Amino acid sequence: MKKIEAIIREEKLEPVRKALEDVGYFGMTVSEVSGRGRQGGIPLQWRVGEYRVEFLPKLKVEVVVMDEDVAPALGAITRTARTGEIGDGKIFIIPVEDAVRIRTGDSGGNAV
């Protein structure tokens, strides 16, 4: 079992959600995060002059899938979240020990 943690552009959430759904992954957790990669920050305007904001708003999408499903889920995200410009984000794949569905108590593969 693996957790796919994708840091994506805010405006890419809808395409990513739809692409994941199309390949059969309905469950996901989305949070507002801020961070930076090689893109760095951006300059914003003060009353006169400007200042830099070093961390930019992004969304973090978390999906837990079985090992054999990692490739198609990954493909759905990279295909839809990509613009080709700096700032498209990153994906991390993390091993997951177990999962439990609270309602039924099911665990493992039945829970994701």
Partner 1 sequence: MPIVAADTAWVLVSSAMVMLMTPGVALFYGGMVRRKNFLSTMMMSFAALGLVGLLWVLYGYSLSFGPDRAGIMGGLDFIALAGVGQNPSPVYASTIPHLAFMIFQAMFAIITVALITGAVVERIKFSALLLFSALWLTFVYCPVAHWVWGNGGWLARIGALDFAGGTVVHIASGVSALALAIVLGPRRGFREGEPMEPGNIPMVAIGAGILWFGWFGFNAGSALTSGGLAASAFVATNISAAAAAFTWMMLGWAHRRPTLLGVATGAVAGLVAITPAAGFVSPIMGIPIGIGAAVLCYYCMLFRMKHGIDESLDVWAVHGMGGTWGALATGIFATVAVNSAGADGLLYGNPEQVLLQAAGIASVWAFAFGATWVLGKVVDRIIGLRVSATEETVGLDISQHGERAYGGQLR
Q: Which residues bind partner 1 (CB under 8 A)?
A: 43-54
Q: How far apart are the C-alpha atoms of 77 and 60, rounded to whole Å?
A: 12
Kindly tell me which of 26 and 46 has the beta carbon lying closer to partner 1: 46
Kindly tell me which of 42 and 100 has the beta carbon lying closer to partner 1: 42
Q: How far is the CB of 81 from partner 1 (least distance, A)?
A: 27
Cα dist from 109 to 2, 19, 43, 106, whole Å: 11, 22, 46, 9
Q: How far is the CB of 33 from partner 1 (least distance, A)?
A: 17
